[in-house]
Amino acid sequence: MSKVFVNIGLSLDGYMAPEGMTMENPEYMGWGAKWGAMMSWLLKQQSFRENLNFGPGGETGPVNDMVRHTMERIGANIMGKRMFDQGEVAWPEEAPFHTPVFVLTHEKREPWARPGGTTFYFVNDGPESALEQAKESAGGRDVRISGGADVIQQYLNLGVIEELEIALAPVMFGGGRRLFENIREPAPRFRIDRVVDSSAATHLRYVRE
């Protein structure tokens, strides 16, 4: 049975993305440096480098094992249109998902298949339909709600997020897109499942109660 999970990097002050984040201009408001500081731990992991064809090398150990496990468990991704738009110009031709990706959008567009097994499907009839399609196509593996923040919030409010994995980095953005906003009552309930400690980020894993 597919699980529905979130796995993201978060700044200490609660932002998924710094203010001004647009792929066109990494200098704008210093967003590139901020985002890089939040995600630098990930870019160093051997399994992540391998996935992006960055070549050999990289850190091994519990954090790397965790990253590899996360990548291997994903059978389908769901993302918002803004995240897709940013990625469309930034991902390599072999997009780094290797699964079906369901994009929540009002735009009508034919599925877009990339080398390496990623196919983007554009879903016009809402998050519940996208989740249904993602589960069907995940082949028994899990469904990752990739982002952005507003999409994660929609799924939190639907009560369908079963696992919430947060890599909390010791950086402050001072502004941007908050992960936890617009949460409706009663808020979903989670318990702490495990914490993996490292100097670059604290890897928190919560499971729905």
Binding region for a copy of itself (CB under 8 A): 12-14, 168, 170-174, 178-180, 183-185, 187-192, 194-195, 197-202, 204, 206
**Which DSSP string corresponds to 72-128?**
HHEEEEEEEHHHHHHHHHHS-SS-TT-SEEEEE-SS----EE-TTS-EEEEE-S-HH
Pick between residue 98 and residue 196 the one whose CB is nearest to a copy of itself: 196
CB closer to a copy of itself, 12 vs 158:
12
Bridge partners (DSSP) listed for residue 112: 120
DSSP-derived letter for residue 203 is E
Q: Minimum distance from CB of 172 to a copy of itself (Å)?
A: 4
- Beta carbon of residue 32, minimum distance to a copy of itself (angstroms, whole number): 15
What whole-number distance in Å separates Cα of residue 73 and Cα of residue 141? 6
The nearer residue to a copy of itself, 34 or 82, going by C-beta atoms, is: 34
Nearer to a copy of itself, 72 or 193 (CB): 193
> In angstroms, what is the minimal distance from the CB of 158 to a copy of itself?
15
CB of 123 to a copy of itself, least distance (A): 27
DSSP 59: B
Q: Amino acid identity, residue 117?
A: G
- The whole-angstrom separation of Cα 171 and Cα 99 is 31
Give 67 or 200: the residue with its C-beta nearer to a copy of itself. 200
Cβ closest to a copy of itself, residue 71 vs residue 166 = 166
Least spacing, CB of residue 126 vs a copy of itself, in Å: 23
From residue 141, alpha-carbon distances to 119, 155, 178 in Å are 16, 18, 28
Shortest separation between residue 167's beta carbon and a copy of itself, angstroms: 12
Where does residue 20 rank: exposed (0-12), middle (13-18), buried (19+ CB within 10 A)?
middle
